[in-house]
């Protein structure tokens, strides 16, 4: 990690704008999954212990610059307060009079939260005026929101031009772990890629093929590869405009002596709904009137077998429609196999977090990224706008 962190800057008695990613699922006014909040606690506690006056900023959902009280951060602040054992007041606005009063009331070691950043239209536009007003509250900026670091928004990139800007502990760990996978992994390095669309993973797949010892492909995007191999896919989701790209990936892998493993059996149904009758078929025998919703047991066994001797496994994307119980078995069984493996295991955030949680193996995975799109982009490009914008360690002078 060449970027400066909170360990490289003095925060005592200073106002710190802390960008976090507390975009967590809610049920009414209750936080359903607080993992992202808990992941930020080391940074928040360190700032409190060092006497900082911490101003927490996060987004919730996609209100698109409009105030939507259903997306207020109040429930998140309440849960954070419970975890910290202190009251966390919430400003009624983002950069208005309530925010100013909330910030001015902070004492050393206090924590407060601004209202949902995306209530302001200037946030996603990276508007310079909004960034200036946001930065005016603080003396230092700390970015601990890896999950939004692929977006050049006002609160992730704009404010870095106006304040000394460093990484929080979560951001630093995300960058260090993912950089290690790209640059110096324990080998063999095995990747498992799932999800619906090859178009969203093509860059990642191309980059990983240069680095990994083997790749397993699952999820609906495997059907695009089946089509590229001339097999029928029934009514399964296929990106017709990506078939040539899938074929090129397979040819590139062969030319580079890389192993790309596709499902050898799949679960098919008439309709992707709970209660649908399921059938396991060979990958090249998908009925014309059926669609693929999961990988089959032989595929799970093959993936699990590759974990036995692996040094590192990185997994991004579910292998079936995990939201429906009957179609989640492949993803959960692979998760359990990964939990049992001695390989250093990295799960790439996004939808897969919930699936790994449901499999009951989160505590046996070495690292679960808090990013979704950010994780994908970092593994593809090795950099993110929100990380690039932070100060290098040797450039911090305050």
Q: What is the tens place of the pLDDT at every residue in 234-275?
A: 999 999 999 999 999 999 998 888 889 999 999 999 999 999
Tally of domains in the chain: 2
Q: Is 162 exposed, middle or buried (0-12, 13-18, 19+ CB in 10 A)?
A: middle
Specify the CATH number for the domain of residue 99: 3.40.50.1260
Indicate whether 395 pLDDT > 80.
Answer: no
Q: Is residue 389 part of a domain?
A: no
Q: Is residue 180 part of a domain?
A: no
Q: Is 372 exposed, middle or buried (0-12, 13-18, 19+ CB in 10 A)?
A: buried
Q: Is residue 232 part of a domain?
A: yes
| Residue 373 a catalytic site member | yes
Instruction: List for the chain the helix, strand, coil content (%; round to 5).
Output: 40, 15, 40
| Residue 36 a catalytic site member | yes
CA-angle at 196, arms to 354 and 198, nearest 5°: 125
Indicate whether 119 pLDDT > 70.
Answer: yes
Q: Is residue 178 part of a domain?
A: no
Query: Quick one: 235 and 144 in the same domain?
Result: no
Determine which one of 350, 371, 372, 386 is catalytic: 350
Query: Quick one: 166 and 245 in the same domain?
Result: no
From 172, 207, 242, the end of a domain falls on: 172
Query: Quick one: 198 and 292 in the same domain?
Result: yes
Query: Quick one: 12 and 160 in the same domain?
Result: yes
Rounded distance, CA 242 to CA 168, Å? Answer: 38
Q: Is residue 31 part of a domain?
A: yes
* Cross-strand partners of 3: 392
Q: Is residue 239 part of a domain?
A: yes
Range of the domain at 132: 6-172
Contact call for residues 107 and 132 (beta carbons, < 8 A): no
What is the share, in percent, of the chain residues with pLDDT greater than 90? 85
Give the pair of three-digit tokens for residue 54.
């911490």
Query: Quick one: 291 and 371 in the same domain?
Result: yes
Query: Quick one: 268 and 130 in the same domain?
Result: no
Query: Quick one: 220 and 111 in the same domain?
Result: no
Q: Is residue 1 part of a domain?
A: no
Determine which one of 96, 109, 180, 197 is catalytic: 197
Query: Quick one: 273 and 374 in the same domain?
Result: yes
| Residue 197 a catalytic site member | yes
- Per-residue confidence (pLDDT) for residue 398, from 0 to 100: 55
Predicted confidence (pLDDT) per residue in 328-361, tens digit: 999 999 999 999 999 999 998 777 888 888 889 9
Determine which one of 81, 298, 373, 393 is catalytic: 373
Predicted confidence (pLDDT) per residue in 51-102, tens digit: 999 999 999 999 999 999 999 999 999 999 999 999 999 999 999 999 999 9
Determine which one of 36, 50, 118, 151 is catalytic: 36
Query: Quick one: 194 and 127 in the same domain?
Result: no
CA-angle at 28, arms to 370 and 335, nearest 5°: 35
Say if pTM beats, i.e. exceeds, 0.85: yes
């Amino acid at each position: 990690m060449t970027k400066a962190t909170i360990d490289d800057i003095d925060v005592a008695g200073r106002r710190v704008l802390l960008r976090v990613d507390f975009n967590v699922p809610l049920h009414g006014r209750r936080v359903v999954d607080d993992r992202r909040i808990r992941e930020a606690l080391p940074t928040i506690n360190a700032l409190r212990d060092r006497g900082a006056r911490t101003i927490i900023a996060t987004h919730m959902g996609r209100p698109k610059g409009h105030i939507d009280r259903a997306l207020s951060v109040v429930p998140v602040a309440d849960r954070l307060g419970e975890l910290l054992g202190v009251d966390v007041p919430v400003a009624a606005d983002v950069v208005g009079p309530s925010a100013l009063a909330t910030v001015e009331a902070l004492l050393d070691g206090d924590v407060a939260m601004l209202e949902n950043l995306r209530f302001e239209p200037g946030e996603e536009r990276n508007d310079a005026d909004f960034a200036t007003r946001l930065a005016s509250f603080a003396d230092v900026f700390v970015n601990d929101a890896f999950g939004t670091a692929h977006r050049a928004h006002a609160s992730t990139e704009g404010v870095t031009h106006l304040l000394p800007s460093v990484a929080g502990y979560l951001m630093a760990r995300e960058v260090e772990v993912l950089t290690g996978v790209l640059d110096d992994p324990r080998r063999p390095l095995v990747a498992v890629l799932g999800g619906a669309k090859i178009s969203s993973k093509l860059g990642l797949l191309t980059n990983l093929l240069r680095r990994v010892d083997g790749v397993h492909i699952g999820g609906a995007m495997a059907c695009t590869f089946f089509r590229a191999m001339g097999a029928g896919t029934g009514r399964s989701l296929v990106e017709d405009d990506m078939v040539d790209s899938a074929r090129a990936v397979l040819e590139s892998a062969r030319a580079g002596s890389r192993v790309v493993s596709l499902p050898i059996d799949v679960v098919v149904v008439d309709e992707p709904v709970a209660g649908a009758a399921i059938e396991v078929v060979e990958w090249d025998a998908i009925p014309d009137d059926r669609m693929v919703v999961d990988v089959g047991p032989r595929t799970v066994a093959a993936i699990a077998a590759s974990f036995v001797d692996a040094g590192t496994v990185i997994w991004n994307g579910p292998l079936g429609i995990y939201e429906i119980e009957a179609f989640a078995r492949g993803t959960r069984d692979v998760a359990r196999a990964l939990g049992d493996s001695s390989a250093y295991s990295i799960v790439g955030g996004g939808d897969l977090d919930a699936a790994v949680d449901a499999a009951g193996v989160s505590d046996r995975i070495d690292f679960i990224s808090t990013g979704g799109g950010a994780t994908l982009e970092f593994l593809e490009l090795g950099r993110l706008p929100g990380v690039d914008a932070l100060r290098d360690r040797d450039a911090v002078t305050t």
